[in-house]
Structure 1
Amino acid sequence: MARRGEALREHILDTAKLAFLETGFERTSMDAIAARAETSKRSLYAHFPTKDALFVAVVERIRTLFDERIGVPADYAEQPSEAIVRYCGRFVQLLCWSSVGRMARLGIGEAERLPDLAAGLYEVLFDITTGNLAAYLVTASGLADQQAQNAANDLIGLAIHPTLPRLLFGVDPLTEKTPERTSLATDVDLDRIRRLVHLVIPTDDRP
């Protein structure tokens, strides 16, 4: 049965995401995406009039999927400090996944030509993550808004270094298998992140 309407649109987005990740934005043509999605060019352009519009929609699709996978700190543990540790660890785990890591590389590669789209990818991966963590630090640790934002930025920055630079430059391989929360303790050095939490969060306000 042929896909139509919203089902076709979502199929095109998922297909385009894979195509962009594999061959990059510039080398991926609308013809190739239509063929890969097994739909007509007319149907493709009816949903997305330009390749830039398609890429914008792909970024929004990634935002939704990323939000679902990372959630918020309260999802990870009842004890606040452990929730913070596991949330930061989950972010590191997701960055190591090929679907996320390659998208980060794509955003960097297109930053000069498509700065707004690159900024959108940055927002999806980093602004949302640090924002969720900052909001949790306010409620769980009693930090003031700016103090919580500073702590969240510091924690995320320290947690992803040096993992992210090594992945972006291809020093370490990306993980092809979808990372599950159940393997978090195996995939990420959570003890290291616990030490970072104790360093970054003020002693008097630590959860």
Structure 2
Amino acid sequence: MARRGDELRDHILFTAKNVFLETGFERTSMDQLAARAETSKRTLYAHFESKDKLFLAVVDLVRELYLDRLGTPGDYAEEPAEAAALYCGRFLQTLLWEPTLRMCRMGIAEAERLPEASARYHDAVFGSMHVRLAGFLGESYGLAPGEADRIAYDVVARTVHPRFLRGLFGMEPVAAERPEAATIAADVDLAPIRAALAATLPAG
């Protein structure tokens, strides 16, 4: 049965996501995307008027998938400090997944030409994570918003960003298979994250 309407649009988006990750934005053509999606080029353009528009839609799709996969700190443990540590560990775990790094590299490569797409991706991967972590710390420890923001930024900057940058430049082992939350402790050294939280969070 032929796909139609929203089902076809979603199929095109997921196909485009895979093709962009495989070949990069610049080397991907609308002819190639139509062929991979098993639809006509005319149908492709009926849903997305340009490759740029399609890429923006893919970024929005990736954002939804990423935030759903990451969740919130409260999903990870009952004790606030451990929940925050596992959340940061999950963040690092997903950052060091090959498709995430490829998407980051693509966003950087297209930042000058498609700043909106790069900004959306940055907000999804980094901005939203920070907002969720800072909000959780503020609520759990009664911190003022500015203080919660500072602690969240300090912990992530010291424990997550260095390894992410190493992965971005190919200097850190990355996961080819999608990492699962159940294996955070096996995939990530949580000790530095726990230590950073302990050094910055209020006692008790």
TM-score range, shorter chain: over 0.9
Mean CA deviation greater in 171-180 or 92-101:
171-180
Q: Deviation at 1:35? A: 0.5
Identify unmatched segments of 5+ residues in structure 2.
none
Q: Residue 31 of structure 1 contacts residue 41 of structure 1 at CA under 8 Å; is this kept in 2?
A: yes
Q: Which stretch of structure 1 is more off in the superposition, 120-129 or 104-113?
A: 104-113
Which letter does structure 1 place at the counterpart of 2:117?
L
Q: 2:122 and 2:56 mapped to 1: Cα distance?
A: 13
> TM-score, normalising length from structure 2?
0.96
Q: CA deviation at 1:171?
A: 1.6
Cα deviation 1:71-126 (Å, max 9, x = unaligned):
00000000000000000000000001112111111111111221121111100100
Q: How many residues align?
A: 204
Alignment partner, residue 123 of structure 1: 123
Structural RMSD (CA) = 1.2
Letter in 1 for 2:156: I
Point out where structure 1 has 5 or more consecutive residues left out of the alignment. Answer: none
Q: Is the deviation greater in 122-131 or in 11-20?
A: 11-20
Alignment of 1:37-116 (within 5 A): 37-116=37-116
The 5-angstrom pairing of residues 123-142 of structure 1 reads 123-142=123-142
C-alpha displacement at 1:206, in angstroms?
A: 4.4
Structure 1 position 173, deviation (Å): 3.7
Name the aligned partner's letter for residue 142 of structure 2: G
Within 5 Å, which residues of 2 pair with 1:182-201? 182-201=182-201
In 2, are the aligned partners of 1:159 and 1:193 still within 8 Å (CA)?
A: yes
Cα distance in 2 between the residues matched to 1:196 and 1:154: 8
Q: Distance in 2 between matches of 1:158 and 1:65?
A: 26
Structure 1 match to 2:17: 17
Using structure 1 for the length normalisation, give the TM-score.
0.95
